[in-house]
Amino acid sequence: MSGEFQSFEDLKLNSWIIKQLATIGVKKPTPIQQNCIPRILSGDDCIGCAKTGSGKTLAFALPILQKLCEDPYGIFALVLTPTRELAFQIAEQFSAIGNAINLKRCVVVGGMDMMVQAQELAKRPHVVVATPGRLADHLESCDTFTLDRIKFLVLDEADRLLGGHFDEQIATIFKALPKQKQSLLFSATITDTLEQVKRIATNKVFEYEAQDDSGTATVKELDQRYVLCPNDVKDAFLVEVIRTFREGNHNGSIMVFTDTCKSCQLLSMTLNEVGFENVALHAMIKQRERLAALNKFKSNHTKILIATDVAARGLDIPFVELVLNHTIPNVPKEYIHRVGRTARAGRGGMAISLITPHDIKLLHAIEENIGTKLSEFKVDDKEIVTIFTQISVTKREAEIKLDETDFYEKKMINKRKKWILEGKDPDEIEELLASQKKKQRKREKRKKSEINKPEEEEKIEN
């Protein structure tokens, strides 16, 4: 079908939409847009699967905005997404096009004032972009808004939303939705869960899965390399790779992915100390600080972002020239999502993975999955010897600083990760739990006082 629609005009989009697209530098539709937009405009439900960076957000945003323009009212569309960062990103894309028709949109996520959000929802915005946890909280706690007239339900990163973490919240939300609506599901991967969704669809279901003639799961513009290094020297290799890359591309932006909050924080502290200014993004950082870090990187004020997989899915960060895997993911699918941060929308990019001897099998599994052999990225061993001691000492000092905090409390890290996966705000929950404990202590103190009171009165009488 994509051959029939080579331009946005061919897709029968309104001239004002095409004009807005031109202002943000989008001149021709991507394959997922060519295939999905006409079917959504015709009233079909849609399941779209394509690589990260393929233009999935505009594939659902453009037809929704066109339909909204024909019949404007609020709340017209609900977009659910698993992470707060992705929710803000989607809202930004809606605004970039929808400003021409005075689009009112509302972002409903944890970490923001719930009362302010309730007031915004009461004003009936055209588009609500939400994480399941916070939206379910609003539905259960207030009646100032309704979702019973929405025309569109969008599940972005649908495989994660329907993968089990959000079952309770999704059930609460679905109960509030009208039976007749268009359901649009988009993801980078097709799963059995998505296949089951067809059973509850209320319209004809159009399925689109991107075909790659090269047989690879990553884009051809992506230069994929590996660096073989001993595990205990990995951080020195990382610093040298960044230094080497910076020599040829001084202003190039870099995303470094690692596997744990601890590793992410230590890398960030270490790189800052050796002169590579960066920001970190992981579950133990408070929500507002995470958004500030992300915005600092997106606006090019900081060229290096150190992240766990909280940031690996769906975030559209323009002009990332290099993705660095400090720790290679255990699942090939996660590798695809990580390296999808670069070489987007036809631009070139590079991904370099640090591979220890223990990672060789993982590397082969990834190569088999993506249908591409990674080539070696050469690093000067003499430079590694020169900087090894400095990097080791700097990292040890960072570890000592972290030891002085409660950062290593594993139970709390796991709890915060779980809450984030559920779309809830960990800072808010911690405050609520602290408040509940305080009230409980007061009740216990009062109860103890009441128990002791008769004894004291008896002593006085005697």
For residue 425, the model assigns a pLDDT of 64
Contact 31, 58 (CB under 8 A): no
Highest mean pLDDT among 145-154, 247-256, 362-371, 428-437: 145-154
**d(C-alpha 75, C-alpha 123), whole Å:** 9
Provide the edge-to-edge strand list for the sheet that holds 152-156. 105-108, 127-130, 77-80, 152-156, 182-187, 45-49, 205-209
| pTM: predicted TM-score of the whole model, two decimal places | 0.69
270-295 pLDDT, tens digit per residue, is: 999 999 999 998 878 877 788 888 88
Q: How confident is the model at residue 166 (pLDDT cuts 50, 70, 90)?
A: confident
375-390 burial code (b ≥16 CB/10 A, e <16):
eebebeeeebeebbee
For residue 347, the model assigns a pLDDT of 66
Q: What is the mean pLDDT of residues 63-74?
A: 94
Nearest to 232 by CA among 420, 417, 395: 395
Q: How confident is the model at residue 81 (pLDDT cuts 50, 70, 90)?
A: very high
243-276 pLDDT, tens digit per residue, is: 999 988 888 899 999 988 889 999 999 999 999 9
Residue 337: pLDDT above 90? no
For residue 273, the model assigns a pLDDT of 95
For 454, the token pair is: 């008769």
